[in-house]
Chain A
């Protein structure tokens, strides 16, 4: 009885092993994929594939050819501008216009910006500021003398893949000014009924501040562009005199204002223009 049962089990085991072997043979056979006629063609190289690259493929140096092809591909999808792309010269003219319309102060400047790789743009601003205010219902006249200021910093252009004609940028500035002002005041004490006039002449101060700039620059005609910026600024240091706190800082504006706005006209001098990406290299107008 036991020997018969063992014989049945051995037979069953052999049958299962045989079936498994057949199945494996069949599945191995499915790995064989015949070449389809549609993929069995010789591809022509693209229009912008260089002859050197084709030569490399033909001579069998496929690794170097693939590396070169990858570099070319990256360059085509990401047009690179040369280190010295352009130089802008600009003038900020909005404040004098607003002053003519009734604003109490003005800061105007000329600035030079070097466009590096159409991306990083170090800039230098030199300007003058002045102002005069006699607020209604107040007891003083404040005259900010014409005084200089300087700002240095850099922009980062977000449209670095496009033509330099259009730019959207953010930037940082460090500004400094040394300036003077005069104040004429009329003082009245109602309890003592006494009236006094006083003048603070030749007050001097200096200030240091930082700015975060966001702006646009668009081509208007030929090499002429217009740009406008919004600036949030923070005063690091401003010297208070024995007789008070300055109201107006050239280049910064009224001390209590955290935001400023500017509109500038630019003239662009292209540099290394022969190294600029060609217009058909996915560069948008």
Chain B
């Protein structure tokens, strides 16, 4: 109602001016559309500059991941007091030192076709048991993306192990990529 009153007032009092402004809008409709589109395009082009944050949402290198399971089941276990080191690592660097492990990342050497790992488990009677796991693989040069960079992927060709503590090792995903996934399933006895 108020709108109608205002409209009629404008129409009566300032009719001539209103009509001239309408005709101006109509005359310049095409120019206005071009200007509007120009602003939209400039806005979009500015947005282009800010698109993409340059982040890598996966890993920067390909490292196989091992996970421990109870033998004969799909139940995951987390061994306690575990120590892991690689044979031939510079300075005998320990990868894990007397810790509880859920997922174990095992970096592989590129210059050789296999890597050996010593895995020491703490037994329930306080003693320790050590197994050797050998992973054989074929390294593949790989360009992942501008954000994550270039790296080596690995195609696992075989796994061997001693059986002091470890029951079996299954290669669940032979290609090791920079995306987090379980490549090796290591089965341990119940006790």
**Contact: A192 with B150, CB < 8 Å?**
no
- A244 at interface by CB-CB < 8 Å: yes
A59 to B48, CA, bound (A): 67
**Contact: A216 with B44, CB < 8 Å?**
no
Task: Point out the residues of chain A lying under 8 angstroms from B52, CB to CB.
Answer: 254, 256-257
- A8 at interface by CB-CB < 8 Å: no
Chain A's nearest CB lies how many Å from the CB of B64?
13
**Contact: B107 with A189, CB < 8 Å?**
yes
**Contact: A243 with B37, CB < 8 Å?**
no
Contact of A243 among B33, B61, B142 (CB under 8 A): B142
- B95 at interface by CB-CB < 8 Å: yes
**Contact: A133 with B37, CB < 8 Å?**
no
- B99 at interface by CB-CB < 8 Å: no
Task: Point out the residues of chain B lying under 8 angstroms from A215, CB to CB.
Answer: 41
Stretch at the interface among B66-74, B86-94, B163-171, B181-189: B86-94
Task: Point out the residues of chain A lying under 8 angstroms from B86, CB to CB.
Answer: 191-192
With contacts A189-B61, A192-B89 taken as known, whether A166 is within 8 angstroms of B30 at the C-beta atoms is yes
Could you say which of B38, B45, B95 has the most chain A C-beta atoms within 10 Å of its C-beta? B45
A135 to B55, CA, bound (A): 12
- A200 at interface by CB-CB < 8 Å: yes
**Contact: B90 with A193, CB < 8 Å?**
yes
**Chain B positions 115 through 145: 1 when the CB is less than 8 Å from some CB of chain A, otherwise 0:** 0000000000000000000000000111111
Contact of B34 among A185, A218, A257 (CB under 8 A): A218
| Interface positions of A from 132 to 173, Cβ below 8 Å from B | 133, 135, 138-140, 142, 158-159, 162, 166, 168
- B16 at interface by CB-CB < 8 Å: no
- A261 at interface by CB-CB < 8 Å: yes
With contacts A159-B33, A259-B48 taken as known, whether A243 is within 8 angstroms of B38 at the C-beta atoms is no
- B75 at interface by CB-CB < 8 Å: no
For the complex, would chain A's binding face be called helix, strand, loop or mixed by DSSP majority? strand
Chain A's nearest CB lies how many Å from the CB of B51?
6
Task: Point out the residues of chain B lying under 8 angstroms from A159, CB to CB.
Answer: 30, 33
- A235 at interface by CB-CB < 8 Å: no
A159 to B38, CA, bound (A): 15
- A194 at interface by CB-CB < 8 Å: yes
With contacts A133-B146, A191-B86 taken as known, whether A242 is within 8 angstroms of B51 at the C-beta atoms is no
With contacts A168-B34, A192-B90 taken as known, whether A261 is within 8 angstroms of B48 at the C-beta atoms is yes
**Contact: B51 with A187, CB < 8 Å?**
no
Contact of B110 among A133, A168, A187, A244 (CB under 8 A): A187
A284 to B107, CA, bound (A): 71
A194 to B93, CA, bound (A): 14
Nearest residue, chain B, Cβ from A133: B146
- A93 at interface by CB-CB < 8 Å: no
**Contact: B33 with A168, CB < 8 Å?**
yes
- A84 at interface by CB-CB < 8 Å: no
- A230 at interface by CB-CB < 8 Å: yes
A185 to B147, CA, bound (A): 14
**Contact: A191 with B95, CB < 8 Å?**
yes
A229 to B146, CA, bound (A): 26
Chain B's nearest CB lies how many Å from the CB of A250?
16
Task: Point out the residues of chain A lying under 8 angstroms from B51, CB to CB.
Answer: 257-259
A192 to B110, CA, bound (A): 9
Nearest residue, chain B, Cβ from A200: B141
- A196 at interface by CB-CB < 8 Å: yes
Nearest residue, chain A, Cβ from B144: A244
Residue positions of A touching B, CB distance < 8 A: 133, 135, 138-140, 142, 158-159, 162, 166, 168, 183, 185, 187, 189, 191-194, 196, 198, 200, 214-216, 218, 228-230, 242-245, 247, 254, 256-261, 284
Residue positions of B touching A, CB distance < 8 A: 27, 30, 33-34, 37-38, 40-41, 44-45, 47-48, 51-52, 54, 61, 86, 89-90, 93, 95, 107, 109-111, 140-147, 149-152
6 A–B pairs (Cβ distance < 8 Å), ordered by A: A192-B89, A200-B141, A229-B41, A247-B146, A256-B52, A256-B145
